[in-house]
Structure 1
Amino acid sequence: VLPRSLRESDRAFLGIEMDLAYQGPGVMVRRVQPETGASSAGLKKGDVITGLLGREVNGNFELSSTLQRLEPGQKIRINFRRGDERKVAEVELGGRPSPQRIPHGRMERMNNMGGHRYSQVR
């Protein structure tokens, strides 16, 4: 087994949000985050990703698990559908951005909800 970093920034990031309600084959793009590989490659809301690395993509889990095996800086080919048109894009994967921090006051309120200290469970 190869060593793998657990830091979020060391994991490949495409730069899309998936439409979890989409039931068809492939992965529908709900939103493209600015200044990411997906935006640079021209992916748009409503596009349906149908292939990655020469393989068919049937759903959200399949896309996510494939991306987890890749690294920032890798260039990959993505097949997608925009309406009735089939397209191919080359995407350079970025590093996953750091999660946003929750302001201290808000975290304190969350910790004290119902008298429990939820942060101890994190």
Structure 2
Amino acid sequence: MAPSFRPGAILALSLAAMAVAFALPAQAGPLVDPFGHTSYNLSEWDWGLLKQSVREVLEGQQVGASIDWDDPLTGKAGRATLLDVFTRDGMRCGQVEHVFTKGGGRAYQLPFCETSDGSWKIAF
């Protein structure tokens, strides 16, 4: 005698299996945090310089303004440029492009908004 299943039981089992599979960590290789200093082999100092350049162009709120940073010890350098300013939910915001000018790495553009404590956060 063949086992019998209630209608929907197979669907429920399939969904449960998918939930378990997606909850497990990926085994394909190391994942990269695109916003962490280790993503581009940046030193803590480089990461601080990068964040400071982004913060300075956001504070200035001058579209087109750029701030360069450079670390001769690691050979890394970059430029943050303010592309646009806007408000979102009453917060000052800006679209920033960061480009690595020495030492490799990718360019990115991200929106940031200033929170009530004065810090700038990525605002997707």
Q: Same fold (TM over 0.5)?
A: no
The normalised TM-score by structure 1 is 0.23
Greater RCO, CA 8 A, separation 6+: 1
**Rg larger in 1 or in 2?**
2
The normalised TM-score by structure 2 is 0.23
